[in-house]
Structure 1
């Protein structure tokens, strides 16, 4: 019969926990802040949207405030710029980045980019179908849109691409330019969707939260940053080499 002494086992268990936290605290923190909190925010928004299709009081207030700034020039700018955050625009940008990774044989990074962007698009379609939130109709829209609104595909796609690029360039000389330029891109795309009146602010926020959680979650599985220190063709690597790289 095994003599199990809880008092004697407790110190060993505590030492084990301490070692795990010391070795993986960054990953655990990233999981909590980068995945847990965004998912919690998305869930909070989704529950309200699902139960009350009207959404939030601040949705209409923000849209109407933005609409007061409308001018013919801004109309044309918004209609043009918003295309870069749509399916074709994001696909073109992703293809450009993917070709760079392909030429440099960064297979792990390329896999991460493809899975993250394609998965984001599929998740967005599923969420829109499941929550079936109608688009706002507060004024005559310049570009009437069909389909559901929550979460915003433009917001989710642009944020997914930017987060993926931040992760891929983290720790390099490109990281800050990507962070600053990417932030401006994401905010600009969000503004165009609100200015055109095709999304509520909560649609935008939900798209951002889903994109952040998804992009970071996939990165914790694939570890795309390993490609920077190991540019070996991973297709030809042995199972032993791949296990050591992880």
Structure 2
């Protein structure tokens, strides 16, 4: 019996370390590889133009309408109202720990994504004429993709262990992929922009979650108890 308890305890202690490697270190490493490649070749990575062209070859008037409509939910018409609604619900329920986690995740993601754009100054793709005005800010990373992934990661963390988690993962996952697809279909981002936005959001969201569940105070206290 004691052995089973010890094994279970060891598994719980190992899970945060595993999550740190897979959810934080790996996405940051992928982002770093993309960033280095773009710094050396601002025109794009080897897979950027072929993949973007392949998606453009599927263009149809009906898809044009859908993509231009759905992409708006990746920021002003979707992300912002959802963030405000969730924050109000958490505050109304006085779930302050989750409320603070959610706000740090949201505002941190906004700051990281848009600051990174200013650092790399990557121009938007100009491979063909698009029927929408080209956004005036920089391309790397994709803000819509990063913010949609940020919301997805935050909601998965908040719903973890509840009956809603499965639906959050299914609906949220489709939403993230859909927003990423619209940015490519519309020709306003390279695939590496979308991937970079996803990686930053995953690393930040999971990193904040780990810090809230395993704060430095507990680690210091544990060291004092077991010198």
The residue that corresponds to 2:38 in the other structure is 49
CA offsets, 1:26-84, max 9 Å, x none?
11111011000000000000000111101212111111111111111111111111011
Report deviation, 1:142: 2.0
Query: Separation in 1 of the partners of 2:75 and 2:176?
Result: 12
- How far does residue 215 in structure 1 lie from its aligned partner after superposition? 0.2
Distance 1:87 1:223 in 2: 31
State the match for 1:185 in structure 2.
175
Question: Does 2:98 match 1:109?
Answer: yes
* Structure 2 unmatched runs, 5+: 1-6, 215-220, 222-227
Residues 47/98 of structure 1: CA separation in 2 closer, same or farther (3 Å cut): same
Residue pairs, 1:174-213, within 5 angstroms: 174-213=164-203
Q: Aligned partners of 2:109, 2:163: CA distance in 1, in Å? A: 27
Structure 1: give runs of 5+ residues left out of the alignment.
Answer: 1-17, 225-242
| Between 81-90 and 121-130, the greater mean CA deviation after superposition | 81-90
Change (3 A) 1:201 1:40: same
Q: Give the ranges of 4+ consecutive aligned residues of structure 1 lying more than 6 Å apart after TM superposition.
A: none
Shift of 1:24: 2.1
Residue 173 of structure 1 corresponds to: 163
* C-alpha deviation, 1:223, in angstroms: 3.1
Which of 77, 102, 124 aligns to 2:113? It is 124
**Cα displacement string for residues 162-194 of structure 1 (whole angstroms, at most 9, x for unaligned residues):** 000000001100010000000000000001100
Give 1:103 deviation, angstroms: 1.9
- Count of residues in Structure 1 that have an aligned counterpart in Structure 2: 207
**Residues of 1 paired with 2:111 and 2:76: CA distance?**
12
Q: 2:144 aligns with which of 147, 154, 159?
A: 154
Match of 1:92 among 70, 75, 81: 81
Name the TM-score, length of structure 1 as normaliser. 0.80
Match of 1:60 in 2: 49
Aligned equivalents of 2:144, 2:154: Cα separation in 1: 15
Q: CA deviation at 1:222?
A: 1.9
Q: In 1, distance between residues paired with 2:139 and 2:78?
A: 19
79-88 or 150-159, which deviates more: 79-88
Could you tell me the TM-score, scaled by structure 2's length? 0.87
Please give the per-residue CA displacement for 1:196-229, whole angstroms capped at 9, x wherever unaligned.
Answer: 00000000000000000000001111239xxxxx
